[in-house]
Chain A
Amino acid sequence: MRTLLSNKFIMLGGAMILAMLLIALFAPLLTVYPYDGLDLANKNQAPSLEHMMGTDPYGRDVWCRVVYGSRVSLMVSFAAVGVAVVCGSVLGIVSGYLKGGFDLAAGRLIDIMMAFPSLLLSMIIGVALGPSTRNMCLSIGIPLIPIFYRVARGAALSVGERTFVIASESMGSGRFRTMFRHVLPNVLPQIFVVLSMGMGGSILAEASLGFLGLGIPQPTPSWGLIVNEGKPYMFTAPWTTGFSGAFIALTIWGFNLLGDGLRDHLDPRV
């Protein structure tokens, strides 16, 4: 644990993510305006003492929306990436290690998923399941599965050829034990790298869906939605897109740092 805390990347990344989570958790304490209070007289106001981040095109307080938006955005991206990591990595590792028929079948399934543009796939799933936060997570997470599948399968293929895997089998270890004891830990670093990418991707995907009206129903804010709402006024009132965009960027950066740090931390050679 001491070494975990001494890693600068993990500390910085972790602190950023933690701050985001605290903001989401204590949203009501951090805001004075309701996130859905329209005030069309005061739309697109620059940051001032009353509105520290200005107001959006509907006169709502941007800080307030960003803070509440973090709830949806963080939850959706965590859940979506969680779905994708678990399904993709497990499928990928099993495919890469067992090869043969399973690999062939899983590979074709993934090929079919990849044939659709991911936004289109999200929309199909979203429409089919109907609007709700849980379905939103699924519709964003499922199109991310191929990324994790391909990375995990490739890594598992190469790890599976290494002598210590064969050695473990020769000692009488079962296939599942070998897979999780030997293959998985050596595949994780590669997965970590894509993990932070997936986090960013899912926040953006949520934004796109929100923009198309397939996201979380109005007026609940999410970061992507705020960016989109502010987009037409980006040059005249840049604070709406700017501040929400900055939160997205900070979160993704935090995940990247955390991912890199964890990867190094888990490598006993460093």
Chain B
Amino acid sequence: MADNDYLIRLEGLTKTFSINSSRGFRSARLTAVNDVSFDIRRGEVFGLVGESGCGKSTLYKAALRLIEASSGSVYYQGRNLYEMSFRELMKVRREMQVVFQDPYDSLNPRMTLEELAAEPLRIHKYGGRARRLARTEELFAAVGLPVQLIKGYPHQLSGGQRQRLCIARALSLSPEFIVCDEAVSALDVSIQAQILNLLLDLKEQMGLTYLFISHNLSVVRFVSDRIGVMYFGRLVELAGKDELFDHILHPYTYALLSAVPEPDPGWIRKYAVLQGSVPSMLRPQAGCVFHSRCPHGDRLCTQTPPELRDFGGGHYAACHKAGELNLSLDTGCLAEKG
């Protein structure tokens, strides 16, 4: 993946946790993120999808060094975050901000909206009081919050307004890179569209780069330029948005995409039913992580883990049979009712 125009690059990022088992003294090891490498280009929206527990949250936390990765490195503008001192890291953090899923829990209920929006400014000692207030008012306007609310408290806001405030806070130090961790998942549908449009507008205006993490494939498809699919701590497929949806290479991606319901009762879906149960994180199996549920698995898949291979045009997949299978969404899963 040689491309010099990247903003952030992950190389072999791995994070294992040790879990105290209930029996005995030996603690089990859980690999939440397993050897993940990809890069995010300047100015793009990189979508990361996967089901709950696939390690996508752990991945971004390790990528920002909010938690320490077990191995691997993260290059931000060419500099390895894992070789930085704490001070340097704090400086770089100004440029990388996070918008969290739950707008009800990500704002300290005992702080005013002004204090909340200006918190990064205070942490990084930006200007004096008046300067910070001016900046806060500017941010309120940028995200579409009424400036009169500035002295209020979070409980006076609706969910959508809270998420706007979280975005304002993330923008306060003019960052380069924003991680949106399920940023619209907890919002009502009519509000979701407002926030998605806002995020895209801000990206255009400020030249931001997003890592957009979500379990909602329709949303990820809408916002992203490139999409990575995670399963069980591994990146199983990575491609440009249209390429991914038109030429699925990994059977897991196929199962995931075909399960997305359409808002149209005239269509029924023939989705790929996943067999078998989800394997245990604690007892890693040999071979491909997906083989126990894969309808196409054979002996090779149970023995050797597949590498992430390049299929041209920036399309990567980690599957032994990638390219041999016919995984087309159009013919397979949309069939007219009756």
Contact = CB atoms under 8 A, between A and B. Distances in A.
Given A172-B90, A172-B93, A173-B119, A167 B106 contact: yes
B69 to A, nearest CB: 16
Contact of B123 (A162, A173, A267, A269): A173
B110 A170 contact: no
Nearest to A268: B153
Nearest to B172: A171
B107 interface: yes
A171 B120 contact: yes
A170 B98 contact: yes
- Sort chain A's interface into a size bin: 20 to 34
B324 to A, nearest CB: 42
Contacts of A166: 66, 100, 106
A186 B100 contact: no
| Chain A contact residues, majority secondary structure | helix
Interface in A192-231: none
Contacts of B102: 163
- Sort chain B's interface into a size bin: 20 to 34
Contacts of A182: 108
Contacts of B136: none
A187 to B, nearest CB: 11
15 contacts: A163-B100, A163-B102, A163-B105, A169-B66, A170-B93, A171-B119, A171-B120, A172-B120, A172-B123, A172-B124, A173-B123, A177-B123, A181-B108, A182-B108, A269-B155
A169 to B, nearest CB: 6
Contacts of A266: 110
A175 to B, nearest CB: 11
Given A268-B153, A269-B155, A170 B64 contact: yes
Nearest to B60: A170
Contacts of B105: 162-164
Interface in A224-270: 266-269
B226 interface: no
Contacts of A267: 110
B109 interface: yes
Given A163-B106, A170-B97, A171-B123, 12 more contacts: A167-B100, A167-B169, A168-B119, A168-B123, A169-B66, A172-B123, A174-B90, A174-B123, A177-B123, A268-B109, A269-B109, A269-B153
B94 interface: yes
A164 B102 CA distance: 9
Which one of B66, B94, B98 has the highest number of Cβ atoms from chain A below 10 Å of its Cβ?
B98
A28 interface: no
A164 B123 contact: no
Interface string B80-119: 0000000000100110011011100111111000000001
Interface of A: 162-164, 166-174, 177, 181-182, 185-186, 266-269
B288 to A, nearest CB: 33
Nearest to B108: A164
B129 to A, nearest CB: 17
Contact of B108 (A169, A174, A185, A269): A185
Contacts of A174: 90, 123
Contacts of B119: 168, 171, 173
A268 B155 contact: yes
Nearest to A189: B110
B184 to A, nearest CB: 15
Contacts of A186: 108-110
Give me the 4 closest cross-chain CB pairs, A-B, nearest first: A172-B93, A163-B106, A268-B153, A163-B105
B282 to A, nearest CB: 22
Which one of B94, B98, B108 has the highest number of Cβ atoms from chain A below 10 Å of its Cβ?
B108
Contacts of A268: 109-110, 153, 155
Contacts of A181: 108
A163 B162 CA distance: 13
A185 B110 contact: yes
A170 B66 contact: yes
Nearest to B115: A181
A268 B108 CA distance: 11
A149 B50 CA distance: 41
Interface string B8-33: 00000000000000000000000000
Contacts of A163: 100-102, 105-106
A131 to B, nearest CB: 43
Nearest to A165: B108
Given A266-B110, A268-B109, A167 B98 contact: yes
Contacts of A169: 66
A166 B149 CA distance: 25
Which one of B64, B66, B107, B123 has the highest number of Cβ atoms from chain A below 10 Å of its Cβ?
B123
B107 A164 contact: yes
B93 A171 contact: yes
A27 B108 CA distance: 46
A164 B169 CA distance: 12
